């Protein structure tokens, strides 16, 4: 019962609106003024646990200042990289190459440049945070119809990584599909003054490179987005058993404009979020304030983490399944954070204006009060929540077979995936094929999971092998495209070969930045220009830095050995083998 108590405690506190927090620290930290800096991500932990260094960080306030900064870097062939306010990308996209590189922060490039109500277009600087974009649009009677679910990301950052919401309608759920023009500062020749602004519109093919660029083309200064007149949405969560999930998924996405599905395989449950446009006249001022994105007191986060650490340490698979069930129950009872009027949930459907119904993240904006420290759950100041986030999208035609394979795997060991359910389940969102060179190549479903990461890189996880098999199955058997801003290293192995237009992307990169000052080791590896994506060392498979090929890549001293997958035999996973003593008996 202590387990349940601590979870209940967590939720009671999170649900009290009075809890206020301090915004996260800047992710760039410098020892003297703005020089001798380190940079990490919002979680304080890159996939390889390294910290990146830079000689200095610059804070341009105008496009003119970006030009002179890029010119000076280009002239001296110095590495440079844009960093965003909170840096929510998991992989090392925020690092400038080497130790002597320069970071250009977009923190002060956060103005709305223009709102054209007639054409429903809005121009913003690249450092504008999604939350502010959404609310500024709403003030003008406009809305960005499809958005990522977490609003603490900047326009420049979310475009660079191809971030998306969930939809198979219109041009799909990725924000980059709604970019009509952008201005990007790139290096240039000496005659041109070493840097220049490239203004790209829909008729420029190069926009297909710039829309999703991993930040390697230059610094985006402004983006113009096509919006729509404000509309309302009606949301109903429906829980069903998962026996026909593979048949339902495609149909459901076509039926509901903003639908998504959360799958809890141990509980044999699929939670369908039926989410559709409704007429503006329908009453309702619904508001979505997703529980996990609310500010949470440090002690509640500590208890949530220690519960999971205890489960891992004692191998209490059953305990975790029960805890996951309990947690899902609380989430369902509280409508996941939906309220009908901003205060209380009184029943489905919840109807509200589009800007209040999808993205959330109140943990970012609340402020410290009562001397009680509260934060976003992953705040590195607390170092409580350390997790992996694995996300890849599988084309619609292959989704049913993938689901069947996962079901086969679970049949072998029903409790194996409770760790996912404890962390929110398997979240499935719809995305459409894109003209962006590094965008999705086919209509697809993005599978997103969050799961326990040990503080000690050499400690295996409970049911390590099941999760590794699913990860490899999604990526290699079903050709899943990794989310550029999430994942462990292995997701990017040969990923670039899955993009038929990768060469077009690279030729734009060569044209814009022939010296590669905006590239770092990581982006070179992702783009297939450099070896080293896989880091072979003891325990590397545990951290997703390699696919195991020898036992030492797992944890042989803890009886985790490199073995084939159970359903996807080509997978190589770290599996626990308990000795049976049969040899001794013979």
Ligand X SMILES: *[C@@H]1O[C@H](CO)[C@@H](O)[C@H](O)[C@H]1NC(C)=O
Q: Taking the complex as a whole, how short is the minimal distance between the CB of residue 148 and ligand X, in angstroms?
A: 18
Q: Contact with ligand X (CB under 6 A): which of 55, 56, 107, 395?
A: 107
Q: Which of 334/365 has CB closer to ligand X? A: 365
Backbone angles phi, psi at 150, to 5 degrees: -100, 125
| Interaction between residue 241 and ligand X (CB under 6 A) | yes
Is the CB of residue 56 less than 8 Å from the CB of residue 37?
yes
**Hey, which residues between 35 and 54 contact ligand X (CB under 6 A)?**
none
Give how far the C-alpha of residue 536 lies from the chain's centroid of Cα atoms, to the nearest Å.
26
Is the CB of residue 572 less than 8 Å from the CB of residue 547?
yes
- Is residue 252 helix, strand or coil? helix
Q: Taking the complex as a whole, how short is the minimal distance between the CB of residue 273 and ligand X, in angstroms?
A: 17
Tell me how many residues contact ligand X (CB under 6 A): 7
Q: Contact with ligand X (CB under 6 A): which of 89, 110, 267, 489?
A: 110
Q: Which of 298/368 has CB closer to ligand X? A: 368
Stretch that binds ligand X, among 102-110, 212-220, 360-368, 535-543 (CB under 6 A): 102-110
Q: Taking the complex as a whole, how short is the minimal distance between the CB of residue 11 and ligand X, in angstroms?
A: 28
Which distant-in-sequence residues (6+ apart) come within 8 Å of 158 by Cβ?
130, 148, 175
CA distance readout (Å), 229 to 119, 142, 168, 177, 226: 10, 4, 20, 17, 10
Q: Taking the complex as a whole, how short is the minimal distance between the CB of residue 285 and ligand X, in angstroms?
A: 24
Q: Contact with ligand X (CB under 6 A): which of 243, 318, 346, 397?
A: 243
Stretch that binds ligand X, among 170-178, 235-243, 298-306, 523-531 (CB under 6 A): 235-243
Q: Taking the complex as a whole, how short is the minimal distance between the CB of residue 497 and ligand X, in angstroms?
A: 40
Q: Taking the complex as a whole, how short is the minimal distance between the CB of residue 379 and ligand X, in angstroms?
A: 18
419 by Cβ neighbours in 10 Å (0-12 / 13-18 / 19+) ranks as: buried
Q: Taking the complex as a whole, how short is the minimal distance between the CB of residue 57 and ligand X, in angstroms?
A: 13
Residue from 518, 523, 487 nearest 502 by CA: 523
**Rounded-to-integer distance, Cα 380 and Cα 471, Å:** 26
Is the CB of residue 19 less than 8 Å from the CB of residue 299?
no
Per-residue binding string, ligand X, 129-168, x by CB under 6 A, is ---x------------------------------------
Q: Which of 223/542 has CB closer to ligand X? A: 223
**Rounded-to-integer distance, Cα 21 and Cα 578, Å:** 46
Q: Which of 125/275 has CB closer to ligand X? A: 125
DSSP collapsed to 3 states, 118-180: CCCEEEEECCCEHHHHHHHHHHCCEECCCCCCECCCEHHHHHHCCCECCCCCCCCCEHHHHEE
Is the CB of residue 287 less than 8 Å from the CB of residue 342?
yes
Q: Taking the complex as a whole, how short is the minimal distance between the CB of residue 414 and ligand X, in angstroms?
A: 13
∠ CA 19-20-22, rounded to 5°: 145
Which distant-in-sequence residues (6+ apart) come within 8 Å of 32 by Cβ?
none
Q: Which of 265/482 has CB closer to ligand X? A: 265
Q: Taking the complex as a whole, how short is the minimal distance between the CB of residue 522 and ligand X, in angstroms?
A: 26
Q: Which of 37/195 has CB closer to ligand X? A: 37
Give the footprint of ligand X on this chain (CB under 6 A).
Answer: 107-108, 110, 132, 240-241, 243
């Amino acid at each position: 019962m202590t387990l349940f108590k601590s979870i209940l405690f967590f939720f009671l506190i999170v649900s009290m609106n009075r809890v206020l927090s301090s915004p996260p620290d800047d992710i760039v930290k410098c020892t003297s003024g703005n020089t001798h800096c380190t940079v990490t991500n919002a979680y304080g932990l890159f996939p390889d646990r390294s910290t990146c260094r830079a000689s200095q960080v610059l804070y341009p306030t105008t496009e003119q200042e970006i030009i002179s900064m890029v010119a000076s870097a280009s002239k001296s062939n110095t590495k440079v990289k844009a960093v965003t306010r909170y840096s929510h990308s998991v992989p090392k996209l925020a690092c400038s190459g080497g130790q002597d590189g320069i970071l250009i922060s977009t923190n002060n490039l956060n103005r709305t440049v223009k709102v054209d109500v007639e054409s429903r277009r809005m121009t913003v600087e690249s450092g504008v945070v999604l939350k502010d974009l959404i609310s500024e649009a709403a003030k003008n009677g406009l809305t960005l119809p499809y958005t990522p679910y977490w609003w603490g990301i900047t326009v420049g950052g979310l475009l660079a990584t191809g971030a998306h919401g969930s939809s198979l309608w219109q041009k799909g759920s990725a924000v980059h599909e709604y970019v009509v023009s952008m201005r990007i500062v790139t290096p240039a020749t000496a005659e041109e003054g070493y840097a220049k602004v490239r203004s790209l519109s829909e008729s420029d093919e190069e926009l297909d490179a710039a829309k999703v660029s991993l930040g390697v083309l230059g610094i985006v200064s402004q983006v113009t987005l096509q919006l729509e007149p404000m509309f309302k949405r009606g949301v109903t969560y429906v829980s069903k058993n998962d026996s026909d999930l593979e048949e339902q998924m495609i149909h459901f996405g076509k039926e509901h404009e903003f639908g998504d599905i959360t799958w809890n395989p141990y509980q044999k449950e699929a939670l369908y979020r039926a989410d559709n446009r409704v007429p503006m006249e329908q009453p309702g001022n619904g508001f979505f304030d997703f529980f996990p994105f609310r500010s949470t007191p440090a002690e509640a986060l500590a208890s949530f983490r220690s519960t999971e650490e205890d489960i891992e340490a004692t191998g209490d698979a059953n305990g975790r399944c029960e805890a996951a069930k309990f947690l899902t129950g609380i989430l369902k009872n509280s409508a996941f954070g939906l309220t009908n009027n901003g205060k209380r949930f009184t029943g489905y459907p919840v109807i509200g204006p589009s800007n209040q119904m999808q993205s959330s993240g109140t943990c970012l904006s609340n402020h410290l009060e009562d001397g009680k420290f509260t934060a976003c759950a992953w705040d590195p100041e607390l170092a409580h929540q350390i997790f992996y986030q694995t996300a890849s999208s599988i084309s619609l035609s292959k989704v049913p077979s993938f689901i069947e394979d996962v079901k086969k795997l679970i049949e072998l060991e029903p409790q194996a995936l409770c760790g996912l359910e404890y962390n929110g389940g398997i979240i499935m969102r719809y995305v459409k094929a894109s003209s962006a060179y590094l965008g999705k190549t086919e209509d697809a479903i993005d599978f997103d999971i969050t799961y326990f990461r040990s503080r000690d890189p050499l400690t295996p996880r409970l049911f390590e092998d099941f999760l590794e098999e699913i990860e490899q199955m999604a990526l290699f058997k079903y050709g899943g495209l990794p989310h550029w801003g999430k994942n462990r290293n292995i997701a990017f192995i040969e990923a670039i070969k899955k993009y038929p237009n990768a060469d077009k992307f690279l030729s734009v990169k060569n044209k814009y930045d022939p010296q590669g000052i905006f590239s770092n080791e990581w982006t070179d590896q992702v783009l297939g220009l450099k070896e080293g994506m896989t880091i072979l060392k003891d325990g590397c498979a545990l951290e997703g830095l390699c696919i195991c090929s020898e036992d030492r890549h797992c944890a042989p001293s803890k009886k985790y050995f490199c073995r084939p997958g159970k359903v996807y035999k080509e997978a190589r996973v770290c599996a626990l083998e308990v000795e049976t003593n049969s040899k001794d008996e013979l």
